[in-house]
Structure 1
């Protein structure tokens, strides 16, 4: 090559590289905790499932208006009340180039509903799945069930051949320390591909150029970093280390609003923050009592009435939370305003209830909380511990990162523990009734390690699951909520606000389910 030709070639290469860099769009974002697992059937934790939706896809999905639309399925019909038929999308490939077929759907739904699956409760009505042909799948239900599409929005499809080759056809439960190839590797059909994964440090995705859908984003790369510290997360945004953050600290909202170059996105949240009470063991790990005081209704109600939620709302939440008496938000179908009145804050009544239950001098108890999952989670627990101490209940707060918190709580190792529930992906009150307030059996009660059991509630849940008349269904939901409210198996606290912050060159829809959908994001 002649010198002048070489110079021109180098100039052209540099120009192409510069043009490519100019068109490359990366979003670097942070949340309080890491993605729990790369296995979409390995946990039921909403932020992790939301992140994995960038890699994997369901048969149907919610759009940015939270309306259900086709995804890997292009259509469906109710052949019989207990049989739904789905037509699958043609021309879809997994990230490794394998074709998407009916066998993948059958294997994935069988995996998700396996007795050992942590997300089996997300498909409570599914009895079996069968292939009709390469583009058609039948889902057989236990009976009439109106919420199947809602359930399917959060159950993702994996490649059967890939799972078989890597010994991952059966699910594993990370909360029990189990892992499989799918825990750390991925092969989805979604808009982005896993590039690198460093747990608790960084997860990087790159764009899937072969995605079947018409992209509404202009991203080429996503970099996700967990940053537990609120102050560090805000500093990272202000200094340009990240472009977007979730869970903006309440005390930093005005600071970011007044800083040039940033947008604050705020909307009321669906997630209700609660305390679950462990009634299962005869004695509690942190209790100084000779038996389990949480088995006594009077004790549970005393703990409820000793919590000053107005103070927590006004001081810790800066007036941005909504105090709750029900485990669902007003926007969730099944919410009944007539039941949404908290038992009054009354320390004297709480002391009297404790004395009547045989604990005039109180007892000691453990309160387990995440310190990186909810808005001011650890501070709320510390405040509640101080309130309980005033009525004689000595409380030891155990604050851990979310992964360790769930591992302890879901294995029954907590006395009282904080958790949040947004009824996702179902977006219906049946979600918490079937998974938290129903006794563990079959596909029910997957999130009920506290052991609450009421035969009347169990019967109502079975009836709700097949009710076709909407008013009848809502009436039974209200009846179940009335029973559980009176029996206090858990203590609702509040719905927390959803507050995100982004650079002002990012356009991104925010939805009440608090799920980031970056396939709708654009960077100017």
Structure 2
């Protein structure tokens, strides 16, 4: 039996110092939001992607809830990728499959209803019953019982040492009962617990959040957040230069030199861009054709030509922000010899939200055509192609993924992206050996044995050529210098917090 209070058990990763620090900005300069210089100020933020699922918290839209500090979870990942309290103050693992969580007794939902064990049970039950359950729960089923007004007992169907990490996913933000509608829709508008209350989402264009004065923690230092969704990277950078925006997500490399030096802030990420090959249907269902694509692709020039040095050459699916990966990784070769591909027609897809991806696709098209493939590109906004990406609608996809986004554990990333039941499996890989390696690794406690299992799974995936690693990304976050304590988060979970304040 183990019990955790205060700072909790270490998660699967310890990032290097540069990646682990969620740096705060404290700058001088012009901008729109900080003009009032007091608690009446509102911050203007340009986000890269609009909502993809009408703000359904069980989708990737949940990460907006955490970056806006409106949705909160039972526990949270801290700067060292360890588990800390949030809505739960302490927890205890009773046996291999049973955990109890003690809840805060001073929390009120944004709609005025009380936060308690029944509310937590409702959210977790809704997640388990969802037709699209949160990715963080892949491979694990749980049941929840309110064993006290402020105590919940969670039982998993299999031993799961990663349960606290899963519960830290923004996709398991605890919402009030009013969030869950009779027609199956879910809305976080006015139903969260964070320092900012979401008051409006205007389709794919804007969202509005106001300070929640009854917040259980330290009240927010600003009056609210005005979010705009700007998929075009050049437009995001332009809004920063013009003073319309205080903070802009993911500035394209092509725009960095157009910003003042103290405006562009590079954040080492646990993000990898790779070429996902559809191993289920089409030409790449043939392992020899996948091997031919891998042999044709040389990603070495992408870092210099596309990223202008603001990235690292890929050494696997897990990059340098996960320091133990390189130490445990061996050489990986294709399990199949390359086949003949002269005249083989393929569709190569990617999305415009990350400005570098279409440029990568251009380079890959040439390399693949030099090997004999006939390539047709399909490039759109992510929101307009997600369903096709996840259902195998393309032969190959230039895809960018934060490998620690869901749980802070890269083995969970493999489970989501490369197993038969994975909910984010763009490669459409379904291999019994890979599934077995991932499943076995997920039973291991956090530590060196789990790390070795993770690298064994990576090797098996790469041998099948389902994914061809290209680059390990660094993200450039734009800040006008009008607000301090804007988070620069390698895990892309936090951005504007209760501490964010105008520069005086």
Query: What TM-score range do you get, normalising by the shorter chain?
Result: 0.7 to 0.9
2: CA distance between counterparts of 1:20 and 1:237?
18
1:72-471 alignment, distance < 5 Å: 72-114=87-129, 116-122=131-137, 124-154=139-169, 155-159=171-175, 161-163=177-179, 166-167=181-182, 170=184, 180=185, 182-183=186-187, 185-215=189-219, 217-258=220-261, 262-281=262-281, 292-332=282-322, 335-337=325-327, 339=329, 353-355=338-340, 359=341, 361-372=342-353, 374-422=354-402, 423-440=404-421, 445-448=422-425, 450-468=427-445, 470-471=447-448
Q: Does 2:450 match 1:473?
A: yes
The verdict on how the C-alpha distance between 1:117 and 1:264 changes in structure 2, with shifts beyond 3 A counting, is same
1:457/1:480 contact within 8 Å kept = yes
Match of 2:73 among 48, 54, 58: 58
Pick the structure with more helix per residue. 1
Query: What is the aligned partner in structure 1 of residue 501 from structure 2?
Result: 522
1:78/1:84 contact within 8 Å kept = yes
Residue ranges of structure 2 left out of the alignment (5+ in a row): 1-34
1: CA distance between counterparts of 2:87 and 2:242?
40
1: CA distance between counterparts of 2:286 and 2:419?
19
Query: What is the aligned partner in structure 2 of residue 490 from structure 1?
Result: 467
1: CA distance between counterparts of 2:369 and 2:264?
38
1:324/1:340 contact within 8 Å kept = no
Aligned-pair CA distance for 1:24: 1.0
Larger radius of gyration: 1
Taking structure 1 as the reference length, the TM-score comes to 0.82
2:358/2:379 contact within 8 Å kept = yes
Taking structure 2 as the reference length, the TM-score comes to 0.85
Aligned-pair CA distance for 1:121: 4.3
1: CA distance between counterparts of 2:297 and 2:440?
34
1: CA distance between counterparts of 2:328 and 2:442?
23
Q: Say which structure, 1 or 2, has more relative contact order (CA 8 Å, 6+ apart).
A: 2
1: CA distance between counterparts of 2:394 and 2:482?
44
Q: Secondary structure at the match of 1:436?
A: helix
Paired residues, what number? Answer: 464
Q: Deviations over 1:182-240 (max 9, x none)?
A: 2584411111112222122211111111111124x411110111223333222211111
1:90/1:135 contact within 8 Å kept = yes
Q: Secondary structure at the match of 2:208?
A: strand
Q: Secondary structure at the match of 1:353?
A: coil
The verdict on how the C-alpha distance between 1:431 and 1:43 changes in structure 2, with shifts beyond 3 A counting, is same
Q: Secondary structure at the match of 1:231?
A: helix
Q: Deviations over 1:403-443 (max 9, x none)?
A: 11212111222221232222213121211221112212xxx
Q: Does 2:491 match 1:513?
A: yes
The verdict on how the C-alpha distance between 1:494 and 1:341 changes in structure 2, with shifts beyond 3 A counting, is farther
1:301/1:488 contact within 8 Å kept = yes
- RMSD (Å) for aligned C-alpha atoms: 2.6
The verdict on how the C-alpha distance between 1:316 and 1:149 changes in structure 2, with shifts beyond 3 A counting, is same
Aligned-pair CA distance for 1:334: 6.5
Q: Deviations over 1:334-389 (max 9, x none)?
A: 72445376879xxxxx9x9332xxx3x231111111111x3511111122112211
2: CA distance between counterparts of 1:135 and 1:46?
24
The verdict on how the C-alpha distance between 1:365 and 1:294 changes in structure 2, with shifts beyond 3 A counting, is same
1: CA distance between counterparts of 2:366 and 2:66?
35
Query: What is the aligned partner in structure 2 of residue 7 from structure 1?
Result: none
1:83/1:140 contact within 8 Å kept = yes
